[in-house]
Chains A and B, each alone.
Chain A
Amino acid sequence: MRTPAQGAPDLAPPPSLEVRGGRKNFGAVHALRGVDLVARAGEVTALVGDNGAGKSTLIKCIAGIYPFDAGEVFFQGEPAHISDPAKASDMGIEVVYQDLALCDNLDIVHNMFLGRELKKGIRLDEAKMETRAAEVLASLSVRTVRSIRQHVASLSGGQRQTVAIARAVLWNSKVVILDEPTAALGVAQTEQVLQLVRRLADAGLAVVLVSHNMNDVFEVADVINVLYLGQTAAQVRTAESSRAEVIELITSGSSSNAPAVPVAAASAPVADAPTTDANGSTLA
């Protein structure tokens, strides 16, 4: 139904992640009925949709928690089969879940390296992990964490979100999927996390941001992908669409203003103007 990307001569690098016609059934329930998603390096792709539209299912399929029943996935232009979560992490796809998979009784360094500890023989290489963790946090311009050896339980919601995101980017990931990262945060912390999301994209990662919040979406996203009842309604560039239009897509699945643009075409990168907010904003 939609034009495949290789149909047109394409000078831009292939998208970091592309899903074409993704389908997923749970018994008689058709959770995904044809999803198209393109996420490019250096861009924040927002994934929006009403409750039950299939956002969570889609990211779980991408993360390998349960594979697609049908459809194609391309990772950096190559066909990919993501059979389990380990495969997804190996490829460089990291998911930051809504309920922050962190251990309260461990410190920041331990959480960031959980399951992938650096070792010297059989001993943990604490010094190296601490140094690496500090580097990653610094590269994300996170400065106000008092000590990276403090327990995660003592962090604020925004700081916890930051640790979860830093954990995801620690491993040279190419695609980072954030599931409602600001859902539980206050105004100031939401702002800090959104700035962090922007910096991830500016650092060259493909960021997929699942969100319910139109303010957040219009603030950071370059591209908005709208799901409606398990199908992709449209993928539009933020700069070329309005809030009313996106809300109409979310609620009715189509828009009177915007014609249904093929996803691949709509997501073609425009001349990139690097954002200038890469300065050190702080986390409270």
Chain B
Amino acid sequence: MSTPTLSSSDKPAQSLSHLAGNVEQPTFSEAVQGYISKVRGGDMGSLPAIAALAVLGLVFFALRPEKFITNVNVANLFQQGAVVMLMAMGLVFVLLLGEIDLSAGFTSGVCGTVLALTLTRYGWPWYLAVIAALVTGAVIGIMLGLLVAKVGIPSFVATLAAFLAFQGVVLLMIGNGGNISITDKVILSLENNNVPPLLGWVLAVVGVGAYAFSGLWNWSQRRKRGLLAQPIQLVVLKIVVLAIVVFVAVYELNMERGPRPDLKSIKGVPIVVPFIIVIALLLGFVLTRTAFGRHIYAVGGNAEATRRAGIRVSWVRISCFMICSTMAATAGIFAVSRANSVDPNQGGSNVLLYAVGAAVIGGTSLFGGKGRIIDAIIGGLVIAVIDNGMGLLGYSAGIKYVVTGIVLAAAAAVDALSRRRARATGRG
């Protein structure tokens, strides 16, 4: 593919080197073939999750066409999935290290309770309460990180201990059988309000425009420097697909969906959507564009090699636990907003398991070193679709759990098998 033959006229004037200067840019079909061989070699990324999403969507649509794909329900999907997605985004950092955080669910509970208590009992303004919740999360994360990275407790055990302890902390803070209601409008709007339709369009156009610009700019820069770049058709195709998806979604969500529009109009993109996108972009930037992010992948791939490269591995570990717990706090804030209140089971039951499941279903490896932020969103959508679709079909909670469990087992099996396959084909 990159035999050292000089080709095409778009080479830089100063040929940089044999490798960089003589890159033969792949054509569109070569890029597609390359992707197919990558998938066959075991590097499937989010493909199984997207396939699952499509299959589940079709099944539910076929069974309940009048209910499943309505703008009411699509808006619901995001609002239901938000808590799981946010927590899963944080878990991706810990999973990338090859660690786990079992306490993230109750960390979100503790932080949600901190938010509720500071708002109601101490009367703090919403922004201070949010900061208090986030700082609580960060401190918890640092503590967990120290236990794992410095003391050397396996993360499974350290966070299992925290899981038990935080469950108790929530109970102590709220009191047995207690319940704190939230009335703060800003906090409640997070999960319950929508972006005004016009602003929704503006955000969509700006977002797609920024993506298109950065994609094309990146492409032209790499071509100019004679580095391997994706074929332009692929770059444009990605932009077009994204634009279609975003614009159709915004159009649909901007339709009136209130049951009684004359009384209360409900339309617009749920506020959680831009929130999740902004946080995902930020965390994705950290993971893929900064040295710190690179070091996270390195620790997950080969911690000893990373240490020998002069990177402070324990610092990377502690930071990841801190990010994970801070994201759990963010998820906790959204959970409080959605429930309008906190009770002692805040962050309990299946929240954490759904979040770990979301990351793994999305394609993040439990073995470390492989995963992306987008995995959390796609996996979170899969879980929300199962939960929501089976609810619409009238199945009991028992059956929902069984199906979700099967999907998670399938995702973990895909992870383990693709890893084995990747070893066999030498793709890691």
Give chain A's interface residues, CB within 8 Å of chain B: 85-86, 89, 97, 100-106, 110, 114-117, 119, 122-124, 127, 130-131, 134-135, 137-139, 142-143, 145-149, 151-155
Contact = CB atoms under 8 A, between A and B. Distances in A.
Given A104-B428, A149-B228, A97 B294 contact: no
A103 B305 contact: yes
Given A97-B308, A105-B301, A105-B369, 14 more contacts: A101-B304, A103-B301, A104-B301, A106-B297, A114-B294, A114-B305, A114-B306, A115-B306, A123-B289, A134-B18, A137-B19, A138-B17, A148-B19, A153-B427
Given A89-B310, A105-B301, A124 B19 contact: no
A215 B280 CA distance: 55
B176 interface: no
Contacts of A155: 426
Interface of B: 1-2, 4, 16-21, 221-222, 225, 227-228, 289-291, 294-295, 297-298, 300-302, 304-306, 308-311, 369-370, 422-423, 425-428
B416 to A, nearest CB: 16
Contacts of B289: 123-124
B236 to A, nearest CB: 21
Contacts, number: 114
Contact of B309 (A115, A122, A131, A149): A115
6 contacts: A100-B305, A103-B369, A116-B310, A131-B17, A143-B19, A147-B228
A154 B34 CA distance: 14
A103 B18 CA distance: 25
A110 B289 CA distance: 12
A127 B227 contact: yes
A138 B295 CA distance: 26
Contact of A86 (B17, B228, B300, B310): B310
Contacts of B304: 101
Contacts of B290: 122-124
Nearest to A95: B308
Contacts of B425: 154
Contacts of A153: 422-423, 426-428
Contacts of B423: 153
Contacts of A110: 294, 297-298
CB-CB nearest 4 A-B residue pairs: A153-B428, A115-B309, A103-B301, A134-B20
A142 B18 CA distance: 9
